Amino acid sequence: MDIVCYRCGNSIGENAAFCPTCGAPQIRVSPREELNPLSPSEPDTLGTTPPPPVIAQPVLIPGEIDWKRFLRMAWLPGVVAGLATAFYAPVGLLIVVPLTVVMTVRSYSKQHPLPLRSGQGAKLGMMVGLLSFVALAVLLCAILLIDGSQLREGMASAALQAASRNPDPHVQELLRSLVSTNQGLYLIIAMSLFFFFILQILFTALAGAVAATTFSKRRV
């Protein structure tokens, strides 16, 4: 089989090392198959350990609250404080629930990488107050459904005492008329729970703000 010289184009023998016409050397490269060839654009990574996958860490925004974590540690103390408040409201409102707020905010601040702000503490405190109030309201509703005679009698007695202390005769007459019917008693109970909820939210927000500020100063 004749081969054409790359320089002059004349035909030369297959095994000729030089062109007989121009004397140009004839270089031949015998093709061979390579196992698992690598493309020039791909680096040879055989025998190297791949880098570990990069796990994206959550970015903590200042002022953000991890509510799932806080609720896991606060729901049980909040419920217990609410049940205790149902049996003696003044002690629960002024002592038990605020102490529960302080303890839960302190526990959460230990796991929080950044110092808590007073606004965050107020929100955490209000959440504890909400949990305790829900527990209290559920217990009172259960008592009313099962046997609410004693509770209604207590509320009626308290309403009559409040009416006797009020100098306005119209208010006295209104309270007596409400006490005389079950619907009126239920309205008094609902209004009492509403005002108690407002007071509890205010107290727990204040306790949470003070606790967050105090524990944050200790961490600095």
Indicate if the pLDDT at residue 75 is higher than 80. Answer: yes
Domain with 116, as residue range(s), is 67-219
Asked if 42 contacts 30 with a C-beta cutoff of 8 angstroms, the reply is no
189 vs 85: which has the higher pLDDT: 85
pLDDT of 74 > 90? The answer is yes
Domain membership flag for residue 53:
no
Query: Span 72-78, mean pLDDT?
Result: 94
* Percent of all residues in the chain with a pLDDT value above 70, rounded to a whole number: 77
Query: Residue by residue, what is the 3-state secondary structure of 118-153?
Result: HHHHHHHHHHHHHHHHHHHHHHHHHHHHHHCHHHHH
Check whether residue 156 and residue 104 sit in a common domain: yes
Q: Residues 133, 209: one domain?
A: yes
Q: How confident is the model at residue 194 (pLDDT cuts 50, 70, 90)?
A: very high
The domain tally of the chain equals 2
Whether residue 75 is found in the same domain as residue 19: no
Q: How confident is the model at residue 7 (pLDDT cuts 50, 70, 90)?
A: confident
172 and 125 in a single domain? The answer is yes
The stretch 41-49 carries a mean pLDDT of 54
Q: Is residue 38 part of a domain?
A: no
User: What does the alpha-carbon distance between residue 106 and residue 128 come to, in Å, rounded to a whole number?
Assistant: 13
Clarify whether residues 21 and 101 are in a common domain.
no
- For residue 43, what pLDDT is reported? 53
Contacts with 85 (C-beta within 8 Å, 6 or more apart), sequence order: 91, 92, 93, 96, 97, 132, 136
Q: Supply 46's token pair.
A: 């055989």
Which residues is 105 bridged to in the sheet?
none
User: Within 10 A of 160 (CB to CB), how many other CB atoms are there?
Assistant: 14
Cα dihedral angle (44, 47, 51, 52), rounded to 10 degrees? 140
Measured between alpha carbons, how far is residue 177 from residues 26, 94, 173, 184, 188 in Å?
123, 32, 6, 8, 11
Q: What average pLDDT does the structure give for the chain?
A: 79
- Please choose, from the candidates 207, 220, 211, the residue with its C-alpha nearest in 3D space to the C-alpha of residue 97: 207
In whole angstroms, what is the distance from residue 209 CA to residue 10 CA?
98
The answer to whether position 82 is within a domain reads yes
> Tell me: the pLDDT tens digits for 156-193?
777 777 767 777 777 777 777 777 777 877 787 788 88
